[in-house]
Amino acid sequence: MSSLSSHSQGSSATTQDIPSSILPTPAQPGPFGHKQRKNFFMPEGKTEFNHGSYGTFPRSVQENMMKWHNKAEENPDRWVRLDLKPALAKVRTQLAEFMNCYKDELALVQNTTVGVNTILRSIDFVPGDRILQLSTGYGAVDKTVHYICDTHKDVEIVEVPIVMPLTDHEIVFQVEKTIQDHLAKKDGSRIRLAMIDWISSVPSVLHPIKALVDMLKSYEILVFVDAAHAIGQVPIDLTFLNPDFLITNCHKWLYSVRGSAVLFVPKRFQTSIHPTAIQGDYKSGSFELEFSWNGTMDYSTILSVEGALEFRKQYGEDAIIHYCHRLAVEGGEKMAEILGTNVLTPHEQQVGNMVNVRLPIKNINHPKIETPDYLIRLLLDRYNLFAPSYKHGGYFWTRVSSQIYLELSDFVYLGRVWKEVIEELNAEKDA
């Protein structure tokens, strides 16, 4: 067995050379780091390095969710007929304050995939319309865009090639160049909508979203911001950003329970946007009514946003964001040092709570890693941890999520795990 596989990641006993935390916060409220583990559900010996994929929530947020769940069960008729919609409206009010927009511009949905489908399947695309998207866009979003093209005559994709590292200026330039190249064709088509990530998934890159939104709008292109990773990871000011549409998952970085997201639709578009599941309030004249009832389901996960916001207020929004960002930056640098490689984004402003570190794999086409299953099983079964890995720009990378329950020593340990895994892989004859 590996010498690392039995390491108890709940403490920094094997990394005494690393301070438990060297990361200041604006107000120093804390405590952050391993002392936060008690607030989450991770068992002893398990550390979560992939918060970005599915999120995880504090115990207090589960308690909040169960409050709503039990309330529904105690009197289903009262809950559905009288109490549910006011409860959802209260959460929308809280989110509107958090995101600086109007309550009536927000709809609560289950996840980003639902939000993307809601918008794309509501827009009346016509022949000649084009949808612009980045090559690094999320897979499910890309498939939804392809579905729209497959089901509409002469609606096609205009893809912006993105290979990191690029500066913020280069990203904006590459998007604008793609638009100008399309205009130069003069074929009668128009880019009607742009799908733009605020923070892309793999590779994880914090994009210059305000500059992108403003530039795209200058070409009279509708802008749909895929902000799946944004809320809870970066401050959101929708009045300042002014996108045409935006969707963000609350269950990733905000700490709500899985199955909770918020969709932003300005009033100027609301008459043409409808839920993916049409119900009795269709064309009721109220955007809020159409989205406040999605049929019989458990709404407690969506309402757990209330508990998530309460938890974050307790520790300080700025402090949480600052801690996780600094830990991602410093942890990524420490891992790169251990592996003898580099981080993908040398520009710190492109890092939120997730950092991409290059893995020194000699043969990125090694048959064992042609599919993700080998590394997934190895990391989970041998080391009881997981961090996703992927190819980009001719290299193999791992994406590591920072969070308030982690410390720098955890990044050191993960770096040593990856070093052991890769040395083993490189030693094989197919390397």
> Could you report how far apart the first and last alpha carbons of the chain are, in Å?
22
Q: Which CATH architecture has domain 64-303?
A: 3-Layer(aba) Sandwich (3.40)
How far apart are the C-alpha atoms of 224 and 123, rounded to whole Å? 12
**Whether 282 contacts 290, CB under 8 Å:** yes
pLDDT tens readout for residues 198-210? 999 999 999 999 9
- Regarding pTM above 0.85, the answer is yes
Range with lowest mean pLDDT among 132-141, 163-172, 230-239, 290-299: 290-299
Looking at residue 5, what is its pLDDT? Answer: 62
Amino acid present at 410: D
pLDDT tens readout for residues 27-66? 555 689 999 999 999 999 899 999 999 999 999 999 999 9
How far apart are the C-alpha atoms of 151 and 155, rounded to whole Å? 9
How far apart are the C-alpha atoms of 149 and 168, rounded to whole Å? 30
Range with lowest mean pLDDT among 45-54, 91-100, 282-291: 282-291
pLDDT tens readout for residues 397-430? 999 999 999 999 999 999 999 999 999 999 997 6
pLDDT band at 17 (very low <50, low <70, confident <90, very high): very low
How far apart are the C-alpha atoms of 149 and 132, rounded to whole Å? 12
Looking at residue 70, what is its pLDDT? Answer: 98
How far apart are the C-alpha atoms of 222 and 179, rounded to whole Å? 13
Between the alpha carbon of residue 111 and those of residues 140, 232, 256, 278, 326, the distances in Å are 12, 15, 12, 17, 28
Q: Which CATH superfamily is domain 34-56+317-426 in?
A: Aspartate Aminotransferase, domain 1 (3.90.1150.10)
Q: Is the pLDDT of residue 13 over 50?
A: no
**Whether 416 contacts 338, CB under 8 Å:** yes
Q: Is the pLDDT of residue 22 over 50?
A: no
pLDDT tens readout for residues 106-127? 999 999 999 999 999 999 999 9
Looking at residue 284, what is its pLDDT? Answer: 83
* Cis upstream peptide for 31 (omega within 30°): yes
pLDDT band at 1 (very low <50, low <70, confident <90, very high): low
pLDDT band at 14 (very low <50, low <70, confident <90, very high): very low
Range with lowest mean pLDDT among 107-111, 234-238, 315-319, 414-418: 315-319
pLDDT tens readout for residues 335-376? 999 999 999 998 999 999 999 999 999 999 999 999 999 999
Average pLDDT, the chain: 93
Query: What residues does each domain of the chain span?
Result: 34-56+317-426, 64-303
